[in-house]
Amino acid sequence: MRKNFFKIAIPGIIVGIVLAMIITAISKTKAAPDAALLQPVKSDRATPTDRQIEAAQSAIEKYSTDPGGYNLLAAAFMQKARETGDFSLNARAEKSLEQSFKLAPDNYEAIKLQATLELNYHRFADALETAQRAQQINSGDHEIYGAMVDALVELGEYERAVKAAQKMVDLRPDTASYSRISYLRSLHGDRKGAIDAMKMAADAASPQNTESMAWCRVHLGDELMNDGKPNEAEHQYDYALYLFPDYHPALAAKARARYAAGDNDNAITFYKRAIERVPLPDYIAALGDLYAKLGRADEAKQQYDQVEFIEKMGTTGGTYSRQLALFWADHDMRLDEALSIAENELATRKDIYASDILAWSLYKKGRFDEAKTAIDEALRLNTRDPRLLYHAGLIAAANGDNQKGAEYLKQALDINPFFDILQAEIAKKKLAEVKSK
């Protein structure tokens, strides 16, 4: 009895234990996280874009072979990136488009979105090519002209840009086309025309897309600010914030308006609020400048350190290199790097702002002759941008032309005496200096 018991029991127990361990091992294997349901909690906080993302995801789930869901998702992610300033959402849009192209390699919607994505990544030449490809498929769609105008403007092909914008507004006069007309008029020095067009753009904006409405208001405000109407400008910024609370470009614009009104405390608060939402180098540099002007050197330095840190992180996918070059040149830091960025920019894009950055870095390096050639190129459209004129004024004075220098500097300060926190001060000093000569 006993013999038999042990004969069976011991190997039996051991085999049982091994089996149990193997079963636990297998059952412990976790399911992939992607398999988890991603049902976001329904909340009042969800913006229309959040709901669009949800709708796109359920469309993908239901109609898995239709590229439409992926296109919708890509568009929603890009819209979300615009709203939040989170550049990395573009990578999600890119993945969605990849899926869409897998299902239908030549689908028009995806090509159109691809052009927008390339614009977001500052791949302007690619964007132009993609937009042209889309245009060949459907030449009657005004939307594709939008991407084309943007690409042409950024590449410095202004004549073609104007033609494309005219075609666009002829096809359909809406926010997208009016806002581009406004920008082109502004570039060509037609301030009043720019303001009119942007007002039309703002009025035509769909109430469905509050971000788009707010965007128009901010840009209208900027044009008004450069037209010597700071109060009207601030009203537009407030309106933008009312339409789209905590919209970061509007917060930063409001900070500029508060600074122009001499209200430094609130200017700081609004810059901080903008940075809280999205720490863009522009906003942080401006806050640093404000601290510097108020003699708070430690805090200014902290902001400047952050600007460099963020650029080092590559958060914005290199799309901020131009602003960084300007930041360095403005603050007399890393001038060699600023110059090399400017040269690289001009190698791929021939727009007036690339010429301006080059002129400004050359000026800071003491190469005044070359700076003059570059700034003349930057002023070729007769743009009434105070920053361009300020650069032109300093370069003219450095080349010995005090009269021209004074003229440019006066123009810059007439357009907007608060165009930049620190640079406007330098402009005033320099103007007094050259006038006395």
Partner 1 sequence: MWNKLTLILFFLLACAILTSGHPLGNFTVNNFTRIEIEKNRVRLNCVLDMAEIPTFQESQKIDTDKNGLLEQTELNNYQENFTPQFIANLKLLIDDQPVRIESVSKNILLLAGAGNLSTLRMEWAFVTENFSIEKDTVHHLRFENNNYKERVGWNEIVVNRADSINVFDSTAFGSTLTDDLRTYPENMLSAPLAERFAEFSFTSSTIPANAKLLQNRNGSASTPVQKDKFAELISVGEITPAIALFGLLFAFGFGAMHAMSPGHGKTVVGAYLVGSRGTIKHAVFLGLTVTITHTLGVFALGLITLFASNYILPEKLMPFLSFVSGLLVLFIGLSLFKERLFSALGWQSHDGHTHEHGDHLHSREHLADYPHDGHDNHLSHNHEAPDPQTHGNGHTHTHGGREHTHLPPENITWKNLLALGISGGLLPCPSALVLMLSAISLGRVGYGLILTIVFSFGLAATLTGVGLIFLYIGKAFGGTKLADNRIFKMLPVFSAFIIACIGAVICYNSLA
By the criterion CB under 8 A, which residues form the site for partner 1? 2-3, 6-7, 10-11, 14, 17-18, 21-22, 24-25, 28-31, 33-43, 45-46, 50, 53-54, 57, 60, 70, 73, 77, 80, 84-89, 91-92, 95-96, 99, 246, 273, 276-279, 302, 305-306, 309-310, 312-313, 315
Q: b/e for 131-150, b at 16 or more Cβ within 10 A?
A: bebbbeeeeebbbbbbbbbb
Taking the complex as a whole, the smallest distance from the CB of residue 311 to partner 1 amounts, in Å, to 11
Q: b/e for 174-212, b at 16 or more Cβ within 10 A?
A: bbbbbbbbbbbbbbbebbebbbbbbbbbbebbeeebbbb
Question: Which residues 6+ apart lie within 8 Å of 119 measured at CB?
Answer: 127, 147, 150, 151, 154
- Alpha-carbon dihedral of residues 144, 147, 148, 150, nearest 10 degrees? 150
Taking the complex as a whole, the smallest distance from the CB of residue 45 to partner 1 amounts, in Å, to 7
Q: Which is nearer to partner 1, 36 or 347 (CB)?
A: 36
Q: Which is nearer to partner 1, 3 or 437 (CB)?
A: 3
Q: Which is nearer to partner 1, 83 or 385 (CB)?
A: 83
Structure tokens at 141: 């769609």
Q: Which is nearer to partner 1, 308 or 377 (CB)?
A: 308
Among 415, 22, 24, 424, smallest CA distance to 222 is for 415
Q: Which is nearer to partner 1, 199 or 248 (CB)?
A: 248
Helix and strand element counts for the chain (H, E): 23, 0
Taking the complex as a whole, the smallest distance from the CB of residue 368 to partner 1 amounts, in Å, to 37
Structure tokens at 163: 């033609």
Structure tokens at 356: 């301006």
Q: For residues 182 and 40, give the distance between their C-alpha atoms in angstroms, rounded to a whole number.
A: 40
Q: Which is nearer to partner 1, 25 or 347 (CB)?
A: 25
Taking the complex as a whole, the smallest distance from the CB of residue 83 to partner 1 amounts, in Å, to 10
Q: For residues 346 and 152, give the distance between their C-alpha atoms in angstroms, rounded to a whole number.
A: 14
User: Are 231 and 244 within 8 A, CB to CB?
Assistant: no
Taking the complex as a whole, the smallest distance from the CB of residue 51 to partner 1 amounts, in Å, to 11
Q: Which is nearer to partner 1, 85 or 405 (CB)?
A: 85
| DSSP-assigned states of every residue in 36-61 | S---PPP-TT--HHHHHHHHHHHHHH
DSSP state of 35: G
Q: Which is nearer to partner 1, 113 or 406 (CB)?
A: 113
Residue with tokens 């080092």: 312
Helical axes 248-260 vs 210-225, angle rounded to 10°:
20
Q: Which is nearer to partner 1, 17 or 297 (CB)?
A: 17
Q: Which is nearer to partner 1, 56 or 357 (CB)?
A: 56
Q: Which is nearer to partner 1, 46 or 104 (CB)?
A: 46
Taking the complex as a whole, the smallest distance from the CB of residue 384 to partner 1 amounts, in Å, to 34
Taking the complex as a whole, the smallest distance from the CB of residue 148 to partner 1 amounts, in Å, to 28
CB atoms within 10 A of CB 12: 11
Taking the complex as a whole, the smallest distance from the CB of residue 338 to partner 1 amounts, in Å, to 22
User: Are 399 and 369 within 8 A, CB to CB?
Assistant: yes
Residue with tokens 């002023």: 379
Q: For residues 223 and 69, give the distance between their C-alpha atoms in angstroms, rounded to a whole number.
A: 38
Taking the complex as a whole, the smallest distance from the CB of residue 23 to partner 1 amounts, in Å, to 10
Taking the complex as a whole, the smallest distance from the CB of residue 247 to partner 1 amounts, in Å, to 11
Q: For residues 74 and 193, give the distance between their C-alpha atoms in angstroms, rounded to a whole number.
A: 34
User: Are 304 and 285 within 8 A, CB to CB?
Assistant: yes
Taking the complex as a whole, the smallest distance from the CB of residue 313 to partner 1 amounts, in Å, to 5
